[in-house]
Amino acid sequence: MILMTLNIEQTFKAIADPTRRAIIGLLAEKERAAGDVARRFAISRPAIAKHLKILREGGIVVTRRDGRERFNRLNPEGLKMIFDWIAHYERFWDEKLLSLKKAAEKGKEG
Amino acid sequence: MILMTLNIEQTFKAIADPTRRAIIGLLAEKERAAGDVARRFAISRPAIAKHLKILREGGIVVTRRDGRERFNRLNPEGLKMIFDWIAHYERFWDEKLLSLKKAAEKGKEG
DNA sequence: TTGACATGTAACTAAAAGATTACATATAAA
DNA sequence: TTTATATGTAATCTTTTAGTTACATGTCAA
């Protein structure tokens, strides 16, 4: 069993790049071999290999090996970490939700 | 009225930096003058001024002028943009929610 | 076993990011 | 009207990032 210290810093850096977000979009459809991912971009295959590594280190992607191929798929951990961080500020844009929450705390509907 | 083309790219870059995320945390408490923000960090005041500018350009912070001070506060737009992006992948970590949604679509409880 | 394929890493380069100091501008206070 | 305060910007430097080409490794197919 491999234990990874999932650094939130790495996760935020991972999603900051547009190419990596595009990769995330591709992997949301289905898992894909590294080459399959690379084929869909104009940049070189090694560049994509590095992006995949960064996504892996950010806890956003996990890789499964099958023969000479490495299949990449989305990992819940990383994206959830970002979601939790941002959800913490939800009240700033969802006033309605805020009042609902307050009402719930009071034990009556808002 | 000022129209800003809110670039999602800038927004993701804005939250990628740890100092800027710390600033977001501070502004979540209350609006603060630029100097008030700067005082809480070890780095120079101009560095913070730049971070605030980046947050502003990312649609995460808006600034209100009062005399010689500039009060900064969180702006819903930017963070909501990130939230919407990430919420799009919610199903990857919240299987339960997914089944609830599916059940709702079918018109019966899950 | 030889050759092709799939992938990752090393070395290097160019561009972007984050910080600093110096300076300019606007407003409050003496 | 001086002086001090609050802030933003310019010029500059260093580090990090994203990309490239060359190369090493491992696996499948002849």
For A26-45, how does the pLDDT look when each residue is reduced to its tens digit (9 = 90+)? 999 999 999 999 999 999 99
- In Å, what is the CA distance from A41 to each residue of A23, A48, A87, B39, B80? 9, 8, 32, 44, 28
The answer to whether some atom of strand C lies closer than 7 Å to the beta carbon of B43 is yes
Token code pair at residue B30: 């209350």
- What does the mean pLDDT of chain A come to? 88
State, as a whole number of angstroms, the distance between the CA of A64 and the C1' of D16.
29
- What does the mean pLDDT of chain B come to? 88
The answer to whether some atom of strand C lies closer than 7 Å to the beta carbon of B35 is no
Residues A65, A32: contact at Cβ < 8 Å?
no
Residue tagged 């501070």 (tokens): B26
Per-residue confidence band for A10, with pLDDT thresholds at 50, 70 and 90: very high
Cβ <8 Å between A79 and B93: yes
Question: Which nucleotides in chain C lie closer than 7 A to a protein CB?
Answer: 5-10, 17-22, 26-28
Give the SS3 label for residue B12: helix
pLDDT, tens digit, 9 for 90 and up, residues A54-87: 999 999 999 999 999 999 999 998 999 999 999 9
Q: Show which residues on chain B lie within 8 Å of chain A, measured between beta carbons.
A: 9, 12-13, 15-16, 18, 21, 24, 28, 74-77, 79-80, 82-83, 85-87, 89-90, 92-93
In this prediction, residue B104 carries a pLDDT of 60
Residues from chain B that touch A73, judged by Cβ atoms under 8 A, are none
Measured in whole angstroms, the distance separating CA A69 from the mean position of its chain's CA atoms is 22
pLDDT, tens digit, 9 for 90 and up, residues B28-68: 999 999 999 999 999 999 999 999 999 999 999 999 999 99
Selected from 1.10.10.10, 3.40.50.620, 3.60.70.12, 3.30.465.10, the CATH number assigned to the domain covering A8-106 reads 1.10.10.10
The answer to whether some atom of strand D lies closer than 7 Å to the beta carbon of B91 is no
Amino acid at B22: A
| B8-78 placed in CATH 1.10.10.10 | yes
Residues from chain B that touch A12, judged by Cβ atoms under 8 A, are 15-16, 18, 21
The answer to whether some atom of strand D lies closer than 7 Å to the beta carbon of A13 is yes
Q: Could you tell me which of A106, A47, A7, A83 has the C-alpha nearest to residue B86?
A: A83
Which residue approaches C25 most closely, CA to C1'?
B68
- Residue B75 to residue A45: CA distance in whole angstroms: 39
Residues from chain A that touch B93, judged by Cβ atoms under 8 A, are 76-77, 79-80, 83
* Domain boundaries, given as residue ranges, for chain A: 8-106
Which residue approaches D20 most closely, CA to C1'?
A44
